[in-house]
Amino acid sequence: MNLQKNSTWQGYLRPDGTKGIRNVVVVVYLVECAHHVAREITLPYRDEAIHVIGFGGCYPNAYADRMMRMLCTHTNVGGVLLVSLGCESFNRQRLFDTIRESGRPVEQVVIQDIGGTRAAIETGRAYVASLLEAVRHVPRVTMGFADLIVGTVSGGSDATSGVTANPAVGKTYDALIRLGSTAIFENTGEMVGLEATMSRRGVTPALQIELKRAVEKAMRYYTVMGHGSFAPGNAEGGLSTIEEKSMGAYVKSGTAPISGLIKPGDRPPVAGLYLMDIVPDGEPRFGFPNPNDSSEIAELIASGAHCIFFTTGRGSVVGSAIAPVIKICANADTYRRMQEDMDINAGKILTAGVTVDELASEILNKLINTVGGIPTCSEALGHQEFVLGYKSFEPIGPSCLPS
């Protein structure tokens, strides 16, 4: 661990002094109607660090608006091209101004103004060429663990997830907190039954109450959605209670004290471990809080995560726009079948007698390689999934963040 403690790497220095581990140009569609043009603009640049993100809805949404502003000014983003149809309700000017004020180069193409699809693609490609040239001159800067923010999700879990990959990520989280990093965990919907266990880790009594409330809110919300929390298949796999099932996912958070509670797009103010409350406030509307893994990943990135640990048993293949995803495969059989998609084989804990601590060291070494610029499996395969939907949140309360 001593060697890792002193590890540094070359990141990208942003005008506000923050540091990124990638230098991506994002092409952003502001309504689904502009999605095709955005995708076409990027096609000749498949081998460059250029990702398509966007918001499909035409009705305005404060959450989506904020998510887009946070994502377009993420530390891994060097420059931005906005692609607008023209008549959508997205507040394009505000997004444009936010990006410009962050010191990043930003351009926009409005399809209706420029004369349609072909003209928009042509102009967009010229902008992308100049943005790619501009981000080549972003200054490099030494980064260390204290500069780093990580997030974690699981997807395609199976009976191995809770005993191999998730505990190994938990140990990695403990190590990263000791190294001065910031780590975010989420999915309060998977903490039902663990309110007491989890909330006790809050650093203040007031935060403990907020943590407990976040899980209670998740339970109410998922009940309305008709989300079954404990299925017969869980019992066949040896799980006996809802708290046991929840624990298998929650163990990713490790054992460090919880410094704060954030909502998507909130940036942790100081280093430490944070719970992200992903469940909307108010009466349930707009459907499931996060309908798939990619929407969870986007929220972690909007809160500043440079890199994501993704644990999977059945074998998810996703990566993400903006931030590299390190895939940690819980199941050795899945790993054998899908090796090219998996960065880490945590199944070894069951099949080869590797300890959880040894696996955590392996994850930390993979992280050091990744933040230093070596592509993860999903990056090498060209994955850049991105999903953003409708939600509504109240701002977090004063007792949620460390003073």
Partner 1 sequence: MEKLMHLHPLDSVAIVREPIEQLDVIVIDGHPVTFAHALGFGHKIAIRPIAKGEQIIKFGVPIGSATADIRVGEHVHLHNIESNYLVTYTHTHEFTEK
Separation between Cα atoms, residue 12 and residue 370, nearest integer Å: 14
**Shortest spacing between CB 127 and partner 1, in angstroms:** 51
Nearer to partner 1, 39 or 314 (CB): 314
Biggest CA–CA distance in the chain, Å, is 63
Q: From the list 28, 81, 150, 192, which residue makes contact with partner 1 (rule: CB under 8 A)?
A: 192
Residue 237 contacts partner 1 per CB under 8 A: yes
Residue 194 contacts partner 1 per CB under 8 A: yes
DSSP state of 325: E
Of all helices (H) and strands (E), which one includes residue 311? Answer: strand 307-312
> Is residue 48 packed enough to be buried (19+ CB in 10 Å), middle (13-18) or exposed (0-12)?
middle
Nearer to partner 1, 48 or 244 (CB): 244
Residue 333 contacts partner 1 per CB under 8 A: no
Contact 111/83 with Cβ under 8 angstroms? yes
Q: From the list 58, 163, 332, 396, which residue makes contact with partner 1 (rule: CB under 8 A)?
A: 163
Separation between Cα atoms, residue 39 and residue 351, nearest integer Å: 43
**Shortest spacing between CB 40 and partner 1, in angstroms:** 48
Nearer to partner 1, 307 or 349 (CB): 349
Residue 239 contacts partner 1 per CB under 8 A: yes
Residue 223 contacts partner 1 per CB under 8 A: no
Phi, psi at 262, each rounded to 5°: -120, 165
Residue 241 contacts partner 1 per CB under 8 A: yes
DSSP state of 253: G
Q: From the list 193, 272, 289, 319, which residue makes contact with partner 1 (rule: CB under 8 A)?
A: 193
- If DSSP codes are grouped into helix, strand and coil, which group holds residue 79? strand
Q: Would you tell me how many other CB atoms lie within 10 Å of the CB of residue 95?
A: 24
**Shortest spacing between CB 167 and partner 1, in angstroms:** 7
Which tokens is 177 given? 């907190």
Separation between Cα atoms, residue 79 and residue 45, nearest integer Å: 15
Site for partner 1 in 338-367 (CB under 8 A): 350, 353
Residue 1 contacts partner 1 per CB under 8 A: no
Which of 36-44, 241-249, 286-294, 359-367 is the region at the interface with partner 1 (rule: CB under 8 A)?
241-249
Q: By the criterion CB under 8 A, which residues form the site for partner 1? A: 159-160, 162-163, 167, 192-194, 197, 235-244, 247-248, 251, 350, 353
